[in-house]
Amino acid sequence: MIAAIRRGSVFLVNDTVLTLPPNDGRQYHQQRHVVVMSGNLRNSDPNWPTVLVVPTSTQGKLATAYCVKLDKGVGNLPKSCWARATMPQPILKEDLRDRAGDLPLPYVDLIVNGMLNYMGLLD
């Protein structure tokens, strides 16, 4: 059974479930942390099969102005990484594996701002 899925929850997923362009030359890992960004109403609905997630990456050279730096320990992350706010994507709830923890709300808000800025909605 999947642990409670909430906006801001950090989960592990199989890395092959995600797309992180540019994919050519991308090093796939066994698993990767993602941050759930979809709303709690749909997250808790057993008849809604997907969640919207933002992948994380430890590759700082790939970080953009829209990415959010997450320090080691935030949301129980084992390493410092970047939330890739330019790469939100739907995945099946069944693809969520171990739940690491939850990001504090200010970090979730920063990711939302990064997503909205990237879409040009805060210009």
pLDDT at 1: 46
pTM for the model? 0.94
End-to-end CA separation in angstroms for the chain: 42
State phi, psi for 3 to the nearest 5 degrees: -60, 165
pLDDT band of 2, cuts 50, 70, 90: low
User: All domains of the chain, ordered by start, with CATH?
Assistant: 9-119 (2.30.30.110)
